[in-house]
Amino acid sequence: MALADELRDDVLDRFLRYVRIDTQSDRDSDTYPSTAKQLNLSHLLVTELQELGLADAALTEYGYVFATLPGDPDGPTVGLLAHVDVSPDAPADGVQPQVHANYDGVSELVPGLAPDNSPLLAERKGHDIVTSDGTTLLGADDKAGVAEIMAAVAYLVRHGDVPHATTRIGFTVDEETGHGTDHFDLGEFGADFAYTFDGSEVGEIENETFSAVELKITFTGAFVHPGYAKGKLVNPIKLAAAFVDRLPKDTLSPETTEGMEGFVHPLTIRGDANSATVTIYLRDHDGDKLEEQDAFVRRLADEVAATDPRARVTFERWDQYRNMREKLDERPEVVEAALEATRRVGLEPRLMSIRGGTDGSRLTEMGLPTPNVFAGGNEFHSVREWASVQDMALAAATAVELLKTLAEPRWRTA
Ligand SMILES: [Zn+2]
């Protein structure tokens, strides 16, 4: 039996168990993790890892699950990572997963999800497709990755005679809020390099991400009772609106760019009579172009503030993550092993760049090279999210092949 076929039932079983647990994160929270309920899944994973015999499985102080699968003592220690939280951008409470067995390749599975608007679905004729009931997200991002890593570990525990690399397992929190690695202790994790299983289409290995900055731009004016405000009031809400209006409409925006083109994207606007703040995302694969965006956006804001001597503007910058490409290119064997493992499960691997970031972007920057491997989910962060069971099984098989590959002499120097 092909490896993926052998893993399929276990992956599905775990996936259905994990998606029912609400682990939605919250961008506006000040706690870490941002929501305590994420740990409901983390605690379950600790228990399941211990039951598999990974004696050191435990929750870290900040809510990460770390565990060791002992392997080849002479080769590299390899990290496998996935995040337990799901996106705040769609309802996530009470997920009711549905398995559509042997999909006919044409039917609408939940409202709005059909091959017309999700082309990959047509290619999944004959697969077993998992969706939510259409009222919540599914949580394949990234519980597909969690289930695949767990199934791969369970396989290697069952087949104790299969040589594989020493493996560190890490399940993180708060990836979706951009804080997935804030308290990730590389020394405590102790891997030489790692892989996130947080990608999408089977066969895709992502070695390049955006570089990302969040800029908070705050306008203040002059507050006066509006009934007696003639010649005195300067309204910060109007300043913020004028700034947003100056942003380019035909270029440099998410709705007009693709591929390697960057963008600036106003995410929120909040204000009252005293001040108004626009939070804007700056995104480009090229670090120099990102700095040009920063200067450009500040200039637009300064121009708006200059329209009235009583107006003020201040900036607060957060460097969110960096493109992982440059650092990964210094360690080509890390990506090469993922490509090789993908070939060994019978897929043609494709190197991809993401128009976004992963936990691996930050980890790579911090010194742990971490490309992103496909996990098989699609239409992330929406109620139309879906995953093919066969694709998830291929991703789990890729994890197994990766750990086997990295225990071979050729990779010892990695
Ligand atoms: Zn994800």
The tens digit of pLDDT for each residue in 152-202 reads: 999 999 999 999 999 999 999 999 998 999 999 999 999 999 999 999 899
Q: What average pLDDT score do residues 126-146 get?
A: 98
User: Given this model, what pLDDT does residue 413 score?
Assistant: 61
User: Given this model, what pLDDT does residue 193 score?
Assistant: 98
Question: Which amino acid, residue 190?
Answer: G
pTM to 2 decimal places: 0.89
User: Given this model, what pLDDT does residue 1 score?
Assistant: 77
Length of the chain: 414
User: Given this model, what pLDDT does residue 410 score?
Assistant: 84
Q: 243-258 burial by CB neighbour count: b if 16+ within 10 A, else e?
A: beeebeeeebeeeebe
Catalytic residue from among 148, 175, 204, 401: 175
How far apart are the C-alpha atoms of 81 and 299, rounded to whole Å?
A: 40
Centroid of ligand 1 to alpha carbon of 27 (angstroms): 15
Centroid of ligand 1 to alpha carbon of 362 (angstroms): 14
Centroid of ligand 1 to alpha carbon of 190 (angstroms): 23
Centroid of ligand 1 to alpha carbon of 119 (angstroms): 21
User: Given this model, what pLDDT does residue 71 score?
Assistant: 97
Structure tokens at 339: 């490509």
Residue 185, helix vs strand vs coil:
coil
pLDDT at 300 over 70: yes
What is the percent of the chain with per-residue pLDDT over 90, rounded to a whole number?
97
Q: What average pLDDT score do residues 124-144 get?
A: 97
Centroid of ligand 1 to alpha carbon of 175 (angstroms): 7
Which sign, positive or negative, has the C-alpha torsion 244, 249, 255, 260? negative
Q: Has 85 been annotated as catalytic?
A: yes
* More confident position, 119 or 403: 403
pLDDT at 51 over 90: yes
Q: Has 175 been annotated as catalytic?
A: yes
Q: What is the CA radius of gyration of the chain?
A: 23
pLDDT at 276 over 80: yes
Query: Which residues are CB-neighbours of 359 under 8 A, at least 6 positions away?
Result: 81, 83, 172, 175, 180, 181, 184, 196, 198, 370
Residue 334, helix vs strand vs coil:
helix
Question: Which amino acid, residue 69?
Answer: L
Q: What average pLDDT score do residues 24-45 get?
A: 97
User: Given this model, what pLDDT does residue 411 score?
Assistant: 79
Centroid of ligand 1 to alpha carbon of 232 (angstroms): 49
Question: For 55-70, what is each residue's pLDDT tens digit?
Answer: 999 999 999 999 999 9
Catalytic residue from among 10, 85, 141, 385: 85
Residue 30, helix vs strand vs coil:
coil
pLDDT at 299 over 90: yes
Helices first, then strands: H and E counts in the chain? 10, 16
